[in-house]
Amino acid sequence: MGTLNGKVAYITGAGRGIGRAVALKLAREGARVVVNDLDDEAGQSVVREITEIGSTAVPCSGSVCAPGFAERFIKTGLDTFGGLDIIINNAGYTWDNVIQKMSDEQYEAIMDVHLGAPFRILRAAAEPIRAFARQEAAEGRRVVRKVVNVSSVSGTGGAAGQANYCAAKMGVIGLTKSLCKEWGRYAVTVNCVAFGMIETRLTQPLKSEQATIEIEGRKIAVGVQPAVIEAMKHTIPLGRPGTPEEAAGSLYLFCTPESDYISGQTIVCGGGFGQVM
């Protein structure tokens, strides 16, 4: 028996990195998973992995910023599994520049993927959550649902060259606190994890050839200067970046019954770096 048996979890950006790790973690604990990723092949691969470990998943590919995506995402899980218990807003990427060189497009794209998309997904989930809560109350049952949003130490503490990303990630914390107060009456906990340096393709060391990812027709440079990574190791009390699996563990904590009376909180998963005061 897993801790999440019978639960239905919706996870964005679940094809790689932290999203993939938490999708597999929740599936191993018995959850049925709606797997979103911009890259359909990556998402389908995670669905196959979940199936191979004996759990169940369904893909919902596409950009979280696309018109109508939020409604399609929630509908996919309701139509397939008939439930909505966990939402993890994880999808995102960085597109950095100093403010005088940052275009409106660059600013708005990052704001939309990190803050606009979670807002629309939670708005689309609101009526199903209200309906489930009313039905359960009429039956004398109490079911605790979970929302876990993803922020960053860039949001809690700022970072040069990331005005767009920092603003969005701080906004996610505000969204978390607001929904905590709105949805407590429906027995929904809403929490946030702010990540420090986690080993993903976005934080890979820069090499002689610049690595890029393609987002909606744009080629976005990714990676971190090796010197910056080395310097970070000296400022992280645990002395190293975190793994996707360790990051997934912090998200999982907020999905468990043990966290049923914790809401509106932001924790930092950063090996001791960037803790919220």
Say if CB 277 and CB 241 are below 8 A apart: no
C-alpha 276/C-alpha 153 separation (Å) is 9
CA 265 vs. chain centroid, Å, equals 15
Helix residue spans in the chain (DSSP H): 17-28, 40-52, 69-81, 104-111, 117-138, 153-157, 163-183, 226-235, 244-253
Among the listed residues 165, 186, 252, 261, the single catalytic one is 165
- Amino acid symbol at 136: E
Q: Are strands 266-269 and 32-35 parallel, antiparallel or unpaired?
A: unpaired
Which of helix, strand or coil describes residue 33? strand
Exposure b/e, 96-126, CB count within 10 A at least 16 = b? beeeeebeeebbebbbbbbbbbbbbbbebbe
Q: Which residues have C-beta within 8 Å of that of residue 42, sequence separation ≥ 6?
A: 15, 16, 20
Check if 10 is active-site: no
C-alpha 242/C-alpha 188 separation (Å) is 29
CA angle 159, 175, 167 (to 5 degrees): 20
Q: Which residues are catalytic?
A: 165
